[in-house]
Amino acid sequence: MSNKKKWYIVVSSILLIWLIMLTTDMILSERGIRPVFCIETARYDDGGSIRYTGFFYQVYDIKTINESPPPDIKHEGLYLVPWFFSIDFVRDNLIE
């Protein structure tokens, strides 16, 4: 087997594994389930929002505090975004 073919197999395998991880976490976040291929990297003092970081992507679990009586915590959902998007971008652009 030539070096070029070995390199192609290695790169294709890594890409396939990454796509499987990304797709799994995307489906789980759409269903409101915590991602399995991410680690928790930050917690925010805005009601309990959490940032999970995967390989070149992030999943935000957004929670907000409802100030009107009675005060409670509202779960906005899980949002998968590229690794360079901040929680402010998710709040401003993705939450309806």
pLDDT (0 to 100) of residue 28:
96
In this predicted structure, what is the pLDDT of residue 51?
A: 97
pLDDT at 43: 95
Q: What is the DSSP letter of 66?
A: E
Range of the domain at 27: 3-94
Q: How many domains does the chain have?
A: 1
Query: What pLDDT shows up at residue 96?
Result: 64
Better-predicted residue by pLDDT, 91 or 27: 27
Distance CA 69, CA 8 (A): 60
17 vs 67: CA distance, rounded Å: 43
The whole-number pLDDT of residue 30 equals 94
What would the pLDDT profile of 13-71 be if each residue is shown by its tens digit?
999 999 999 999 999 999 999 999 999 999 998 888 999 999 999 999 999 888 777 87
